[in-house]
Structure 1
């Protein structure tokens, strides 16, 4: 199944493309965005966004992966974040996301996760998701809690500055159903 375009409130979620490279490079190459995401080089390379998008486009042909760019409807060509779901054996988690610092605190990522989790649970019929986040990332924790995740364990992840504690979360269809009702 291909990644569909999804709309909710003031945002549009659509598969990103190479045309979105400049906006991604502009918004993602920010220490405040990158510091809580494992495996991202810093300083962020000048071709980082292009390499990432090319890799995801290739992955979408070979693996079960769904990825969206986050766009505000008043600026429909300006990618301000991404969210992706990965369902293949060599991944230790199913979902990752980031949002431009200028858009933090507005509920955008909670809305994006809500809409995409509907797709994952109701269209793809997935029974659960595993997600991870740096223990100190309060904003990511808040999104997870609002969208039905519960901590099921701890792990050590590779982040800037070395190995750091991370939370391992699970979202199930029943936990999403309860959270979804609370968000309405």
Structure 2
């Protein structure tokens, strides 16, 4: 993630949790006083996404376990005692627990971070007041293209198709914003 952020020559970065929640303190120290826009999603959407994520999610979970253990003052040696099963062995309850732990890590630290704007993903794609507020925070003008995005999408149901629309929205302001994500 650090390499991706270092490629950005602007002070604005949008980060999509859940995979980066544990990185917020590091990001804040390295990039302060930049503005952070933190997108979060409803847990039902996240759990469904994780269930459908297959081996990619399993890989991410494996990579992050040492970080989680550090946070809970455990040694990396204890990883040998943790069995990561096949993705089809994981139940929705497992993914919900993972979501809860990741968000708890974020919530323990987010008040320490200046210039953090927390945005619900559903609100971002459905409520043009959110984008107006967001653009005021980063001193960018609202364009016809952005408002056209809302007129086209307001009648749609929130779903994975919004990922493409969110990219289109980010592309409109690509000189100022970058959207970092595993698979948006």
Which structure has more RCO (C-alpha within 8 Å, separation ≥ 6)? 2
Instruction: Looking at secondary structure, tell me which structure has more strand per residue.
Output: 1
TM-score normalised per structure 1: 0.30
The structure whose Rg is larger is: 2
